Amino acid sequence: MADNEDKKLYTFDEVKNHNKAGGCWLVIHNKVFDVTKFLDEHPGGEEVLLEQAGGDASESFEDVGHSSDARELMNEYCIGELREVSF
DSSP letters spanning 36-55: GGGGGG-TT-HHHHHHHTTS
Tens digit of each residue's pLDDT (9 = 90 or more) over 34-79: 999 999 999 889 999 999 999 999 999 999 888 899 899 999 999 9
Quick check: 44 and 64 in contact, CB under 8 A? yes
Nearest to 34 by CA among 47, 19, 44, 45: 19
Tens digit of each residue's pLDDT (9 = 90 or more) over 15-40: 999 999 999 999 999 999 999 999 99
| Domain spans of the chain, in order of start | 10-82
Q: Is the pLDDT of residue 1 over 60?
A: no
Instruction: Indicate the pLDDT class of residue 85, thresholds 50, 70 and 90.
Output: low
Beta bridge partners of 67: none
Q: What is the pTM assigned to this prediction? A: 0.87
> What is the domain class of 10-82 according to CATH?
alpha beta
Q: Coil, strand or helix: which one is 73? A: helix
Residues in the chain: 87
